Amino acid sequence: MENKIEIIGKNGQKLEITKAEKEKRANIKKVNDEFKKINAEKSKIINEQELWKYFFEKPKRNYNKYMYEMLEFPEYLMYNNENVDKYCGKWNDFFGNNNDIYLEIGCGSGNFTVQNAEKFKDRNYIALELRFKRLVLGAKKSKKRNLNNILFVRKRGETILDFIGKNEISGVYINFPDPWEGEERKRVISESLFSKLDIILKTDGKLFFKTDHEQYYEDVLELVKALENYQIVYHTRDLHNSEKANENIKTEFEQMFLSKHNMNIKYIEIKKIK
């Protein structure tokens, strides 16, 4: 039997691994460190005149100040499509471990994913958001907590196939997405999303959905019933008075719906069964 070597893991725990595993880890760490260095250098080089190119067709007169602040968090925030797409199928290299990867679509200012990353250090989290300020706030919270298992990415949920590989994701969170009343075809949770989850989500992986919106809740239940490779494994109209209440991590919108409007939160867990 091959001799095992004792090493200290990323989170300070003792691990016994083979020499080959140790070398593999060292290589992953090297790729990761190089990426972070390049990204940090690029961020410094890109000046205020050039940054717009990542987001707009042509220069504008005024920019959101958070657009520039995004440059300050190269380890926690990616906005450059080229960098993001390069990691398609290789996100474990980015995180420097083989832990499961969870994705949040429309993360707002990141409370939910930051708290998850803090609680589950042996999981990795990628959080998608479009708004500059919310991305910066999420990155700031992650840096303050010195987290090394979280990344914010400025990408639309609809584009996941551009930068996430086959079976790369263990769970997807969608919390309080816009219900698009009257324009329901624009909703993030749609048949088209499930056809993408067919590719990126592992078998037995789950989609977790929270909403304040009764009709969105009903529509998702109906939609999933018609899909043969997905199964609703849990649903409730009142998450905060359910058996899941204790483990629930509140999002910013959830907090607002509870405190200002005293609303019942609807919740669905959907499992990919094949």
Ligand X SMILES: C[S@@+](CC[C@H](N)C(=O)[O-])C[C@H]1O[C@@H](n2cnc3c(N)ncnc32)[C@H](O)[C@@H]1O
Residue 156 contacts ligand X per CB under 6 A: yes
**In this chain, which stretch among 26-34, 39-47, 99-107, 163-171 interacts with ligand X, using CB under 6 A?**
99-107
Beta strands 100-105 and 123-128 are parallel
Alpha helix locations (H) across the chain?
Answer: 19-45, 65-69, 81-86, 91-95, 111-119, 132-144, 160-163, 191-200, 214-225, 252-261
Beta strands 230-236 and 266-272 are antiparallel
Q: Is 212 annotated as a binding residue?
A: yes
| Residue of 85, 178, 204, 238 with catalytic role | 178
Give Cα separations from 171 to 76, 191, 215 (angstroms).
Answer: 20, 17, 24
Residue 230 contacts ligand X per CB under 6 A: no
Binding to ligand X (CB under 6 A) within 117-146 occurs at: 128-131, 134
Distance CA 83, CA 8 (A): 30
Task: Residue 193: name the closest of 223, 215, 166 by CA.
Answer: 223
178 is catalytic: yes
State the nearest-atom distance from the C-beta of 186 to ligand X, in Å: 9
> Which is nearer to ligand X, 79 or 253 (by Cβ)?
253
State the nearest-atom distance from the C-beta of 92 to ligand X, in Å: 23
Q: Is 252 annotated as a binding residue?
A: yes
- Residues with a known catalytic role: 178
Binding-site members for S-adenosyl-L-methionine are 104, 129, 178
Residues that bind ligand X (CB under 6 A): 105-108, 128-131, 134, 156-158, 175-178, 188, 251-254
